[in-house]
Structure 1
Amino acid sequence: MLGFFPNPYPNELLYSICARFQERVDYPNQISVIRDLFQTKNAIAIFDLPSKLNRLVAALPAGHSYTVDNFIDNHTLLPFYSPFLPLERLQLVRQDMCADNGSKIHTRLGIVAGFIEMPSHLSFCPLCMEDDRKQFGECYWHRLHQLPGVEVCSTHGVFLEKSAVLTHNRRRISEFVSLEQATQVISPRPIDPLNSGHKVLLKIARDIDWLLNNCRFVPGLEALYEKYLSLVKTNPELVTYTGRIRVQEFLRLFKNYYSSQVLDCLQCPLDEQIRDNWLAQLVRFPKRIHHPLRHLLLIHFLGYTVQEFFELKEAPKPFGNAPCRCLNPVCKYFKKPQIKKCQITYNQENRKPTGTFFCSCGFVYSRIGPDKSPEDYFRFSKIKVYGSVWEECLKAFWEDSSLTLKAISQRLGVRIKTVLRQADRLKLIFPRPNTKARATELCSSLKPRVFSFIQAPDILESCRNQWLEVIAANAEAGRTELRSKAPAIYGQLYKHDKNWLLEHLPPPLTNNGTLYVDWNNRDIETLEAVKVAVQGLKQDVNRPIWISKTAIANFLDHPASAWVRRHLNRLPMTAKVLDELAETREEFAVRRVQWAANTFHQENITPHEWQLVRRASLRKETKKLPLVKKAIADALEVLNSLN
């Protein structure tokens, strides 16, 4: 158990606390410090996400008030990642930091696969150093200054300076170095308040500061996705008719908002040629973890600070929250919240949302939104399907001679004309008692529907003659064009004389107008492109890469690359050539050794000199001959794989 441990300063990195401890106890070697702090000599001085914290807490002086959670939340970088992780993953990371298993921490957070590198050196703010010395008598490493994306001090608005202390010191893995030991006299470099890039960096730093010290939200990836989606859809330019995100337009506006210099500085470049880039993945259903820095860029683009975003209530839905009301007057759930399924589409002209509601009674209606008052919940713009319950009631009311058409329409919640049209669709008996004259008077266009074709054969013959005249006048037209010429006649014949109509229609198009694709020609084109790609890969003067099928497909230009990836089964000659030209691992190993040998020859290196350089490179005593060192590494790797 330790007899002394320094009190942490505000927002101080745990690495910095251990460094101040090492500086004051003045141990003869680094292993002694590690052994006393973590009760093992196998611990490593990790600056961002240390493990074995349970050992550290157990070794602290008696009567201390420190806990593992206190160290993690206030003196490590985990709070920066926490809000953008699944809760289960976050719990695993905290368990790893508490226990001895620290090898999986960075992998679980997505840092390894996120293509955003951690800083190579610890950083500091010159003005923060002065303030710390005035207040505490010494300066220390602030955890905010050690995160990727933090280029300026959020408090003083000056650029951070890199120290000479490595974040990953492979030669002295157990060494803690305090800021006092690494002190440098550097003049502050203030940011330009008129520079848009500098303003973005300052905003990023302030939001990360809030995440480290104030944010305890862990909403989960799906909740983040839903909130992103609802905020993006507030911009009509970014939404299709079906409610999908226009990714290319979204990418264009995003790149107009951030300059390429800022995105490169933050290690978040966007390539328009990559369809599945990180920005597109953030607004799709989450399948992977992304670096918090990318989330911050998206949040700022949407017009919020990170605090405003996490404290933002759920965006209002255009038709309220489910369940919605059924508006079928003859349904037992009439005007009750019963409908759980609502499909939302968007009008292409005015960008207004249209909700389609499906009730279990079969009644389907739509309404143009958004809803602005509670009264809007009880209106519809169009009935799309009446459903079995509504139709059975219409049949029962139709046979009841005591009910007038007006009474039926009131009970069913529709107009009289609608009652007549639906009765005709259901093949109900015409005329109803005491309603024949009334029906034709209300809707003269329904007159041919009131009397069946059996009762009026002259109408049937007239429709046939008119259809034959349409065909004669448009001899080259297809079925769809003929139907558009005389829709009413086509509808009457289709409903009442379908067999005759089908006999007097031109033959349907076999391919529905789809253009024929000549896959044989594409196979020949792709075959030549594959040969050129393989030749280009072999002639590359840089370090050789494995000429696999995937590498060849990546080297091809569009659309040949897409054909190889998606339709290789339709390109038999190309598939055969790919099998012949793609290298096995053994062939690639031999070619790589030959490349290494040629490199030795070009550099005029003898076997004896190669041995000297190899030994020197293993002792890390030379920085010369980088090309030779790469060749040595390749040769050693091949020999190890063969063994």
Structure 2
Amino acid sequence: MLPFFTDPYPNELLYSAIGRYHFYSGNISFNETLTELFNGRNLLPSIGFGSNMESLVKTLGNKYSVEKLIFDNTIFPFFSPFITKEKQMKAYEDMNGNGRGLNGRLGIVSSKIGVKSEVFFCSNCVEDDIERYGEPYIHREHQLPGINYCPHHEKILMKYPIDYKIYSRLGYIRFDKREMDIFVPKSIEDDTNEFKEIEVKLSKMAYKLFSIPIGSIALDDVFKRYRTLLRQDNWIVNNTNVRSKDFLKAFNSKFPKGFLEKFNSYSKGNQVNYWLQAITIDPNRKGVHPFRHLLFLYFFDQDIDTLIKLKEDVGPFGNGPWPCLNVAATHYKELVVTDLEVAKRKSTGALVGKFKCSCGFIYTRTGPEKDESEKWIRDRVNAYGEEWESKFDELRNMNLSSEEISRILKIAEPTVRQKLLIKEKSTERTQSYRETLLLWKDENPQYGRKEFRSAHRKISIYLYHNDREWLEANLPMKRENLLISHEEKIKKYRSIILKVINKNSDVSRSFLWEKYGVACKYLYENDLEWYNLNFPEFIKYTPKTSFVDWESRDIEYHDKVKEIYPQLLKEEKPIRITRGLFSKRLNIFILSTKRDVDKLPKTDALLNEITETIREFQVRRCCLKIDEMIEREGKVGFEKLREACAVNLRDFKIIKPTLEDYINQKYKNQRT
């Protein structure tokens, strides 16, 4: 056992504590330090995680444990909630062993976000550490991938001037305040990041992950909570499916332009966002980087605290059984309903649950439920059942008013009056309703039962319950019309059209199609010869023509574009020069289309000359930033330039030679 070890400070990385141990032990070679701590030299330092933990704990003695070191002094708690319990155990084994499979298991290898390969610090934290402990150290919250701000002081993190990659493949960096003062320009601390507010919030969310005990929550638990969020905001349809395309558009619009691109997490609306799809549909299919989970939570205005408190998704209507809401039943409000059907309402896309009780009572409710109290609410009754009908008859025979029956059975008074009407059958009423239907049918031969019910709901309901045989014979349902033969349909539709034409000789073809579309369409498709002979002549529409002096218009548009072009280049925030931009600024729609472009040759030639491709705009924007950096700092950092201009790495590699030529020419001009 070692005679001493540099005990880790609060939230200090194990990597940093070992670096301090190497310094205070007086060892010259890192091989000596590795031998003392790990009883071997075959170990490569890992900034964020660590390896051979079990061997290290044996060397340090009972004061330490593997679990405590991993939980308190690595960045593993940042990843832990977003992997499965099985992967949590495997990762634990990796850190006890050589750690080689860890990055793949955590989804780091497949992600474009990765981990930080260099060491970062917050200048305020450094000052606090020196005042409290006499020396600075590497905070694990500053080494989280995707996190660029200190969660405590909300200041941008700065890169330690010693490059970890070339320092020593076996070395451990220890912070030296002198190095920070000498090599870190104060100008780097000037924060002009337009995304600062979001990034600070994400850094605070990330820091809270350190307070979640490893193993207390895993990916399956998180996924069920995500389903709750999706269901509450109606992103889930048909009980399980997610409206992926609409969700992607909404997700992209939540963040300012360029933010998601900066963190390689953007997909266009017509593309598939695989990591977002994995989070919402199948988390086990593909590992998703923790930073992207934070983006997902930010979209829903959630935090780590609220995520932990969220209830896991149990479907749009919770777990059964559900209550029977039949007032007339002996089991009223008891949890006896086990039959539930969930469907999507076509008009709104909302989920509707149909609850069927064994007593025959069927009711529906719109979901998803947001509160337990909604379980006792019904939107509509689909069927009442024999027990309820028996109770209704009993109340009716007691000569109670519709208002009293409504109060006792807890249904709307209009519904009571309607049911009383059905019960009060009489020969006079039946005959009167028959005559009304026949008259309506004569006036509307092209319509059926559905339209009649909309026009005369009370009569339709009465006849359906009290004179159904006559109703079916005189106004069959639409599905029964399918049984009519082709010849009978031809005869029926011809009769309808001829009757209208004979009544009004001036009737037009468009009027017939508007009023009798079903008949017109059937005759056009199946009886075209008769259609052409008997339908009114088609009146050809002759549009009015107007003369446009395209030559003078071309000159006018050309001059306007030429006049506004310099103003667009001088915009404070660079904007890509496109045809659509000119169209919007000048309110000339034709400029954004290729229509009639041959009639505007001068304007078209000018637009072809001055509009920019995406790459040309990237180069111009970078050149403007280069001018600013050279004037302010006297030098250009390519990585800082790329981040400031929000250019992804692939595109930046392509335009980098052009930018280097521009920088060289800039310096050359300064010398001359």
After TM superposition, is the score higher than 0.5? Answer: yes
SS in 2 for 1:366: strand
Residues 324, 338 of structure 1: 8 Å contact kept: yes
Query: What's 2:152 paired with?
Result: 155
Q: Report the equivalent of 2:9.
A: 9
- Offset of 1:26 from its aligned partner? 3.6
Does 2:169 align with 1:173? yes
Q: Deviations over 1:452-507 (max 9, x none)?
A: xxxxxxx8xx9999999799x55xxxxxx655566769975685798997764548
Deviation per residue, 1:59-90 (Å, 9 max, x gap): 11x5x411111100110001111222223322
Within a 5 Å distance, the mapping from 1:460-609 to structure 2 comes to 484=450, 492=469, 504=484, 506=486
Paired residue for 2:112, among 115, 118, 132?
A: 115
- Shift, 1:147, TM fit: 1.4
Label 1:483 to 1:317 Cα distance change in 2 as closer, same or farther (>3 A). Answer: closer
Quote the residue 1:74 is aligned against: 72
Equivalent in 352, 363, 366 of residue 365 of structure 1: 363
1:440 aligned to 2:425? yes
Secondary structure of 2:47 counterpart: coil
Question: Which residue pairs with 2:21 in the alignment?
Answer: 21
Report the CA distance between 1:379 and its aligned residue. 5.3
Q: Does the residue aligned with 2:119 lie in a helix, a strand or coil?
A: strand
Superposed CA RMSD in Å reads: 5.1
CA contact (8 A) 2:11 2:139 kept: yes
Cα distance in 2 for partners of 1:215, 1:74 equals 10
2:404 equivalent to 1:384: no
Task: Please tell me whether the aligned partners of residues 345 and 353 of structure 1 are also in contact (alpha carbons under 8 angstroms).
Answer: yes
Q: Cα gap change, 1:307/1:328 in structure 2, threshold over 3 Å: closer, same or farther?
A: closer
Q: Name the % identity.
A: 25
The corresponding residue for 2:208 is 210
**TM-score for the superposition, normalised by structure 1:** 0.59
Of residues 249, 252, 260, the one that matches 1:252 is: 249
Q: Distance in 2 between matches of 1:443 and 1:184?
A: 101
- What is the Cα deviation at residue 121 of structure 1? 1.3
Q: Deviations over 1:92-124 (max 9, x none)?
A: 3223323x2522222221112222121231112
Measure how far apart 1:125 and its partner are: 2.2
Partner of 1:455: none
Q: Counterpart in 2 of 1:227?
A: 225
Write out aligned runs for 1:317-336 (5 A): 322-328=320-326, 333-336=331-334
What's the secondary structure of 2:160's corresponding residue?
Answer: strand
Contact 2:239 2:315 in 1 (8 A): no
AA partner of residue 259 (structure 2) = V
Per-residue CA shift, 1:380-414, capped at 9, x if unaligned? 3322245xxx35x589x69xxx9786479989988
Q: Is the 8 A contact 2:232 2:368 kept in 1?
A: no
2:425 corresponds to which letter in structure 1?
T
Quote how far apart the aligned CAs of 1:372 are: 10
Map of 1:541 onto structure 2: none
How far did 1:179 drift?
1.9
Where do 1:4-153 residues align within 5 Å? 4-60=4-60, 62=61, 64-98=62-96, 100=97, 102-153=99-150
* SS at 1:121 equivalent: coil
- Residue 289 (structure 2) pairs with residue 284 (structure 1): no
SS at match of 2:258: helix
Change (3 A) 1:318 1:30: closer
| d(CA) in 1 for partners of 2:428, 2:302 | 57
The CA distance in 2 between the partners of 1:209 and 1:117, in whole Å, is: 18
* Mapped partners of 2:395, 2:30: distance in 1: 99
CA displacement 1:588-635 (0-9 Å, x = unmatched): xxxxxxxxxxxxxxxxxxxxxxxxxxxxxxxxxxxxxx99xxxxxxxx
How far, CA to CA, are the matches of 2:480 and 2:12 in structure 1?
88
Shift of 1:148: 1.0
- Contact kept, 8 Å, 1:406 with 1:416, in 2: the verdict is no
Within the candidate set 198, 201, 204, 1:200 is matched to: 198
1:257 and 1:124 mapped to 2: Cα distance? Answer: 30
Distance 2:412 2:298 in 1: 51
Distance 2:219 2:346 in 1: 30
Deviates more, 1:258-267 or 1:113-122: 258-267
Contact 2:231–2:368 at 8 Å: present in 1 too? no
Mapped contact 1:96–1:102 kept (Cα < 8 A): yes
Structure 1 gaps of 5+ residues are 423-434, 449-458, 475-480, 514-625, 628-643
| Matched ranges for 1:393-432 at <5 A | 406=397
Q: Partner letter of residue 155 of structure 1?
A: H
Q: Is the 8 A contact 2:80 2:218 kept in 1?
A: no
Q: For residues 239 and 56 of structure 1, do their structure 2 counterparts lie closer, same or farther at Cα, with a shift above 3 Å needed?
A: closer
Report the count of equivalent residues: 469
SS of 1:357's equivalent in the other structure is strand
Whether the 8 Å CA contact 1:157–1:191 is kept in 2: the answer is no
CA distance in 2, matches of 1:42, 1:89: 25
Distance 1:403 1:138, change over 3 A: closer
Which secondary structure state, in structure 1, belongs to the residue aligned with residue 336 of structure 2? Answer: strand
Taking a change above 3 Å as real, the CA distance of residues 321 and 20 of structure 1, as seen in their structure-2 partners, is same
Is 1:93–1:108's contact at 8 Å kept on the other side of the alignment? yes
Which residue of 2 is the match for residue 271 of structure 1?
268
Write the deviation string for residues 522-551 of structure 1: whole angstroms up to 9, x where unpaired. xxxxxxxxxxxxxxxxxxxxxxxxxxxxxx
Name 1:618's counterpart in structure 2.
none
Distance 1:276 1:59, change over 3 A: same
Deviation at 1:222? 4.1
Query: What are the ranges of 5 or more consecutive residues in structure 2 without an aligned counterpart?
Result: 454-459, 490-517, 523-652, 655-672
Cα distance in 1 for partners of 2:421, 2:180 equals 101
C-alpha distance 469-437 of structure 1, shift in aligned 2 (>3 A): closer
Structure 1 residues 215 and 204: CA distance shift in structure 2, 3 A: farther
CA distance in 2, matches of 1:443, 1:405: 22
1:44 aligned partner, one-letter code: L
2:180 maps to 1:184:
yes
For residues 436 and 77 of structure 1, the distance between their equivalents in structure 2, rounded to whole angstroms, comes to: 73
The 2-side partners of 1:415 and 1:210 are apart by 52
CA distance in 1, matches of 2:345, 2:418: 28
Contact kept? 1:417, 1:443, Cα under 8 Å: no
Contact (CA 8 Å) 2:122, 2:150: kept in 1 or not? yes
Letter in 2 for 1:267: N
Q: Normalization by structure 2: what TM-score?
A: 0.57
Deviates most, 293-302 or 329-338: 329-338
**Contact 2:363/2:382 (CA < 8 Å) preserved in 1?**
yes
